[in-house]
Amino acid sequence: MSTPRVIVGVSGGVDSSVAALRLVRAGEAVAGLFMQNWADDGSGECRAEDDRRDAVAVCGRLGIPFHFRDFSSEYWAGVFEHFLAEYAAGRTPNPDVLCNREVKFKHFLDAARDLGAEKIATGHYARVAEDGGTWKLLRGVDRGKDQSYFLHQLGQEQLSATLFPIGDMQKPDLRRVAKEAGLPTHDKKDSTGICFIGERDFREFLGRYLPAKQGEMRDPQGHVIGTHPGVFYFTLGQREGLNIGGVRGRAAAPWYVVGKDVANNVLYVDQDTASPYLQSTKLWSEAAHWVGGHPPARRFDCAAQTRYRQPDEACRVSVQDDGTLEVAFARPQRAVTPGQSLVLYDGDVCLGGAVIARTDAPLERRLDAERAA
């Protein structure tokens, strides 16, 4: 059996199945590799074994070798411990970004090279292109499925060794191709949410690692509205799970999380989905990562997303001496959340991004001033 030139990360889903199919049809020497990134925790919610069986079936249908690697310990150290630390600090991390950087395009790439492959391929909706010796990360053609947001931490070494075979496809066309090819995953439901949580209750899962700590729920003026089980269970803009009943003297309207005082375990809520306490026009980030290795300039205009599938927002980026960013938006942004990713674009080209550290939202500014006093 010849050494495969490309190892495809087969997840047991339809996207990676069609990625493998397209490479086989292109005449590539291909093998599949299934990554187990989360050890079964006994909850009955882990779908890894079902996904593995589907990945084996796909490789069998395509007539390509199947490999398995257990990266659960690497995932725990490189992704999950950071995830818990961020939530404990009251921030809202994005584990998919870290998983791509620390596992899929690091340990998976190393495993593929150990198997003699030159390239890896995944079922991400993104594209890669070389331009004058520089590798560029491009949005997927299907903007509703584009996953470049989660890939913005990749650099030149990873992109030069990566193929995204379905980056030019629309999802309905992809499912049709899968069905016509007889792939057993053609009608499999897309996975949603964080991989290690799956369909289970998020608060119950997080409570295993971060015990409940009841505190006060207040409005922005400081009036007590109710209680909560722990500020780290909530994120800015959240409406569900607040369990606020009728409050005397208040309208019967939904409440939203507008701020978190982690030190005092206070959760701030307001009734307006467009609450001014959720609005910000500036953010400051941690040190940025640039796909091309460096920023386009010390100060430049571009488009940004502060959450996945958000429409492009015009902004001006100022790169600080320590590599962090100050970003000013052309219009106010709702619920920009520390711990989430700011990702920058020039048209279809993903420039890079950074973790959001803080914003100029009114309540956040006030809490910062109180802490500094």
DSSP codes joined into one string, 93-134: --HHHHHIIIIIIIIHHHHHHHTT-SEEE---SEEEEEETTE
Instruction: Please pick, among 195, 302, 315, 350, the residue that the annotation labels catalytic.
Output: 195
The active-site residue, picked from 59, 99, 302, 315, is 99
350 is catalytic: no
Residue 334, Cβ neighbours under 10 Å: how many?
17
Contact 12, 55 (CB under 8 A): yes
Largest Cα span, the chain:
75
CA 147 to chain centre: 9
Residue with tokens 């989660």: 150
- Judge whether 99 counts as a catalytic residue: yes
Q: How far apart are CA 331 and CA 351, in angstroms?
A: 21
Task: State residue 187 phi and psi, 5-degree precision.
Answer: -115, 20
- Distance between CA atoms of 95 and 79, rounded to whole angstroms? 6
Give the catalytic positions in this structure.
Answer: 99, 195
